[in-house]
Chains A and B, each alone.
Chain A
Amino acid sequence: MSIRGSNFENQHPFASDHALVWERCMPDGLLYGVDMSFTSTLFTLGPGFMLVAGRMFEITAAESISISPGSGYARVYVAIDTGGAATETSFDQVSFGVDYAANLDSFTELTQGKININQGAAVYQAEVAVLEINSSGVTAIERQMELVSPGAGTGAFAAIAVTYPAGSTVTVTDGKITYTAPNTSGGALFIIPYAATWTVTATDGTDTASKAVEITTEGQSVSVELYYRLYFYKEGDQCVDVTGGWNSNVTVKKFGTVSMSKITPTFAETAMILDLTSAGTYDYVPVTTGLVDLTQVDTIYAEYDVPVAAYNARLLASSTTTFATVDGSEAATRAEFEINAGDDYTLMMDVSALTGEYYIVAFSFRGESIDAKGKIQINNIWGE
């Protein structure tokens, strides 16, 4: 028989069975008491009850942890090691530790093993507090574990549904609790236990995509889509696999009533260069050779340097490469800047309502009637 009863008559329940239920329903936190205080060299946890990974334990007398002086932050954590001694007369499965980091976001990841599965030995660590320290010792409590609130106890305060590139690892964290998707299928649903700002991150080991989600209301349901940067041009790389390369096979017929003359941009080693310093009415229209599928792209970014002040930099997503005027009305969407010398610009274009394939056109022009004696350098164009 491959079924083991847990809370059934005459069956033996393990502590981990009980803890598993609590772990699924309650976040790590304080149940009662555990007042936190500090001196320059000691961090003290007062008596009280804590719940960590579904395991409940009592601090029966104040517990003090030594903190070394330094520069940055000290993190006090609780560690549950189910491989430690636990008999009628001794208990050695819960301890406190401390580690250090220069910045709040540079602590190493805590170990969070599955201590409630299969009654096996594993370690689970949870942050209790982060302390600010200097050469004299502790100066402040930066953040600390909170009381488990009734609202959090439902385990289903809100939900975040995430779609992400298959094969990636996805996590959701508020800095205190981190949930990891159970697989890398491309879709995950996270049950969020309480209101906070939660950061959803996907990584495949090379690329990373991240979004912050504000959870404020019980019952809130949020959908998040994560995509890695899809480069269309990257510092001299024309990203041929995606774009088919870049060329200037675009026709722009008029600037006002004056016909345009097309000039081929210079595809330099690290950038496209659009030199608008010569007199005349002309345009540069670097365009992707192939149509680019924008179905999974919400925003296109183009990163410019401007060595010499220019009139404008314009970005289009278009199903055609022939435009009646410099207005580019035939394009599905358009974004542009007027740009000044010496500045770096990142142009953002909303393409979230577009599905299917489009040419990407990075367009700039000069007319005799406007002061456009500029020079534009495009370093990167990518979609997210």
Chain B
Amino acid sequence: MTIYIDTNCKCHVSNPDGIYTEIEAPEKFEGKAPAYIEGFRVKPEGYTFTRNDGKVFGPDGYSVSPWRDLALLEEFQAQYEAQLTAAAAAYAEGVNSI
């Protein structure tokens, strides 16, 4: 799975202007909603990011960490899964009615 990061290591699921850097997504993002993924930072080795409070995370090491409130991201994910379940049920109902 491929994702993209901007210059502050924030994740994006698409790269319409071609300005982000393509990276391999961590296992953690498998099956996750775009809104969940885009609430995270992935910092590859050699990259840095600056948090909102000015704290700089230097180039050493790799990290995966949320920058949006994790509880909110988990709510996005729960709603995403509920929508998938509802869509699957509607599809199954449609198929069964044929």
| Interface class of chain B by DSSP | loop
Contact A335 B55 (CB under 8 A): no
Contact B60 A345 (CB under 8 A): yes
Interface stretch among B14-22, B65-73, B75-83, B84-92? B65-73
Contact B53 A352 (CB under 8 A): yes
A351 within 8 A of B: yes
Q: How far is the CA of A351 from the CA of B65 in the complex (A)?
A: 7
Interface residues on A, range: 20 to 34
**A211, A327, A334 interface centre (most CB from chain B within 10 Å):** A334
Contact A349 B60 (CB under 8 A): no
Q: How far is the CA of A325 from the CA of B62 in the complex (A)?
A: 17
B41 within 8 A of A: yes
Contact A349 B68 (CB under 8 A): no
Chain A contacts of B60 at CB under 8 A? 337, 345
Write the A290-325 contact mask toward B (1 if CB under 8 angstroms, else 0): 000000001100000000000000000000000001
Contact B27 A334 (CB under 8 A): no
Contact A329 B61 (CB under 8 A): no
B63 within 8 A of A: yes
Q: How far is the CA of A133 from the CA of B42 in the complex (A)?
A: 50
Contact A325 B27 (CB under 8 A): yes
Q: How far is the CA of A158 from the CA of B5 in the complex (A)?
A: 34
A147 within 8 A of B: no
Name which residue of chain A comes closest to B9, CB basis: A350
Write the B25-66 contact mask toward A (1 if CB under 8 angstroms, else 0): 011101000000001010001000001111101101111111
Query: What are 16 of the A-B contact pairs (CB < 8 Å)?
Result: A211-B53, A327-B28, A329-B30, A332-B70, A333-B66, A335-B65, A336-B61, A336-B63, A337-B60, A337-B61, A337-B62, A348-B57, A349-B63, A350-B55, A352-B52, A353-B70
Known pairs A336-B62, A350-B63, A352-B67; list 16 more (Cβ under 8 Å).
A211-B54, A327-B26, A329-B30, A331-B28, A332-B70, A333-B65, A334-B28, A336-B61, A337-B61, A349-B63, A350-B57, A352-B51, A353-B66, A354-B66, A355-B70, A355-B71
